[in-house]
Amino acid sequence: MLTLWLMPDKETYLKIGQLIAELSSVHNTPRFEPHVTLISGITDDVETALLKTQKLAADNNVLKASLTGVEYLEYFYRCLFFRTDDSEDIFHLRDKAESLFEHSTVNPFIPHISFLYGSLPTFKKEAIIAELGDRFLGGFSLQSLRLVRTELGPESWELLGEFELLGGR
């Protein structure tokens, strides 16, 4: 399966990446890179998907967004995550990606950056949220698109290509 990720700016990437490393070590959960999943279940062949990713990046600007809160669900890949604002730009880019790529996944789009994968009891999730407070919340930018092979678990995910959002420059 191929997945398209929006990548945060370097400062946000490093800050959330460090949090992911710390929490995955403490809770013995997978490590992964901070990202916003734009679309998953891409069924195009790799070469076609790379060309489409490059075109989408070339035609779109860097996106501004905000981390607005910390949430959790009872899903492995959304164990704990930072919710982003419902930026029109992110939803517009999602619509473009859905019309450009052949894809099979039709999950509701909830823009977010996960920082812990796994299965933890609710009281542990709430303790982590309380400890974090609001120190990760605030504005950031999404500066590139990555095409990633996301078969199996995070330890086997493979970066296929990354393209800066250029906005038609």
Q: What is the pLDDT of residues 110-138, one digit of tens each?
A: 999 999 999 999 999 999 999 999 999 99
Q: Give the confidence band of 152 by pLDDT, cuts at 50, 70, 90.
A: confident
32-84 confidence digits (pLDDT tens): 999 999 999 999 999 999 999 999 999 999 999 999 999 999 888 899 999 99
Q: Buried b / exposed e across 45-59, counting CB within 10 Å, b at 16+?
A: eeeebbebbbebbee
In angstroms, the CA 76 to CA 3 distance is 17
Q: What is the pLDDT of residue 117?
A: 96
In this prediction, residues 95-116 reach a mean pLDDT of 89
Domain assignment of residue 105, given as a range? 2-164
Q: Give the confidence band of 105 by pLDDT, cuts at 50, 70, 90.
A: low
Q: Which residue has the higher pLDDT, 168 or 126?
A: 126
Helix (H) or strand (E) holding 41: strand 36-42
Res 168 pLDDT > 70: no
Domain count along the chain: 1
In this prediction, residues 154-158 reach a mean pLDDT of 94
Answer whether 13's CB lies under 8 Å from 34's CB. Answer: yes
The answer to the question of residue 65 being in a domain is yes
Q: What is the pLDDT of residue 151?
A: 87
| Domain CATH number, residue 157 | 3.90.1140.10
Res 167 pLDDT > 90: no
Q: What is the pLDDT of residue 106?
A: 66
Res 96 pLDDT > 70: yes
Q: What is the pLDDT of residue 127?
A: 96
pTM: 0.93
The answer to the question of residue 70 being in a domain is yes
The answer to the question of residue 128 being in a domain is yes
In this prediction, residues 78-107 reach a mean pLDDT of 90
Phi-psi region of 57 (alpha: psi -120 to 50; beta: other; left: phi over 0): alpha
The answer to the question of residue 67 being in a domain is yes
Q: What length is written for the chain?
A: 169
The answer to the question of residue 169 being in a domain is no
Q: What is the pLDDT of residue 9?
A: 96
- Amino acid letter at 72? Y
